[in-house]
Amino acid sequence: MGGFLGFVYRQWTIKPKPLPSALSLSGKTALITGANSGLGFEAARELMSRKISRLIIAVRDVSKGEAAKKELSSSQGGDTCEIEVWPLDHESYQSIAELGKRTAKLDRLDYALLNAGVKMMSYKKSALGHETNVQINHIGTSAVSLAILPALKHTAQRYNTPSRLIIVSSEGHFWIPFKERSAGKILAKMDEEETFGTQQQRYYTSKLLNVLWTRELASKVDKEEVVVNTVNPGFCYSGLHRHSASVINVFLWLFAWTPEQGGRCLTDALVKHEDSHGQYLSDQRQTPPSSFVLSSDGEKAQKKIWDETIALLKDEAIGLDTSVVT
């Protein structure tokens, strides 16, 4: 798992399957971040086809979210699903805190799919001063997971069944050296431009942080309340690649799955695998993450990333309650 030849083999031979046609999600509520396009949009469409009752699209650009809502409304299930568009900016802790407050007012939140992300190919600081891939893919996503956790727990307690929290990662977490792990402060080191690396290294490192965060979060959450996993959706046609070099188009032509197929991987992780917790899901099954993640060095990095992220959020994210897991 994780090598280039294995990647090619899987992309060419595996065809992600849709959720069982007999499955009904009637009465359930799902929240998907970054669902205005690409894989998140296709995941939303499939949940609607399985009769989900309420779908919350949390997006940075509300106008794009409304356009997605209009298109989704014409999909199968659009006549029975209540679709809401909520603003969410991973570069604003106030926005993330407001999302948490809104979820707390819901009668239920059964599924949360944290899909929003970016793949920046050159160094750029976010509005909050951190490198953009790290801010949006790791810090922002981690903050969102904490903000919505109380609503997920409340739903589980009220309906006596675990809710689900899925963070989207990438197979790319296998492919990076993660030299920053030896720094005194890993996240601060990753803010330095000279550590950015080449090509997709920083993006893949942010996806490794997703895996490490998910594993540590799962260790602090009762799986009888919230099942927490991370998922690799596969290499798919998506707007995620818009900042990539033109050669990516060759790889997309040769190997990529469709957005619909990638969306199936997301919904599979969100709805199935009830007995998993803190796991890495890929190709619609539970598989081991990278050897580094499973190593003693990986375990140390996992706890260090957790501690640093919690400390950063306590310092920067005024209004966000981190005590839900500490």
pLDDT tens digits along 178-197: 999 999 999 999 999 999 99
Residue 321 inside a domain? The answer is: no
Residue 143 inside a domain? The answer is: yes
Q: How confident is the model at residue 81 (pLDDT cuts 50, 70, 90)?
A: very high
Q: Give catalytic status of residue 170 as yes or no.
A: yes
Q: How confident is the model at residue 210 (pLDDT cuts 50, 70, 90)?
A: very high
**What pLDDT score was predicted for residue 237?**
67
List the catalytic residue out of 93, 203, 204, 280: 203
Residue 301 inside a domain? The answer is: yes
pTM of the model: 0.94
**What pLDDT score was predicted for residue 256?**
79
- Residue whose tokens read 């469409």: 45
List the catalytic residue out of 28, 153, 207, 304: 207
Cβ contact 48:71 at 8 Å? no
Look up the domain containing 223 and give its range: 4-316
* Beta strands 285-287 and 280-282, pairing class: antiparallel
In DSSP terms, 228 is beta-bridged to 165
**What pLDDT score was predicted for residue 254?**
73
253 or 161, greater pLDDT:
161
Residue 175 inside a domain? The answer is: yes
Q: Give catalytic status of residue 276 as yes or no.
A: no
Average of per-residue pLDDT across 277-292:
97
Measure the N-to-C terminal CA separation of the chain; round to a whole number of Å. Answer: 34
Please tell me the total count of domains within the chain. 1
Please report, for the domain that includes residue 229, its CATH number: 3.40.50.720
- Residue whose tokens read 């970016």: 118
Average of per-residue pLDDT across 246-252:
64
Average of per-residue pLDDT across 15-30:
96
Nearest CA to 151 among 53, 43, 40, 29?
Answer: 29
Q: Is the pLDDT of residue 14 over 60?
A: yes
Count of Cβ atoms closer than 10 Å to residue 27 Cβ: 12
Residue 152 inside a domain? The answer is: yes
List the catalytic residue out of 170, 238, 282, 290: 170
Residue 324 inside a domain? The answer is: no
Cβ contact 265:287 at 8 Å? no
Q: Is the pLDDT of residue 251 over 80?
A: no
**What pLDDT score was predicted for residue 276?**
97
Residue 322 inside a domain? The answer is: no
Residue 218 inside a domain? The answer is: yes
Nearest CA to 112 among 33, 198, 50?
Answer: 33
Sheet of 285-287: strands edge to edge? Answer: 82-87, 54-59, 29-33, 111-114, 163-168, 226-232, 280-282, 285-287
Cα dihedral 65, 36, 33, 28, rounded to 10, equals: 80
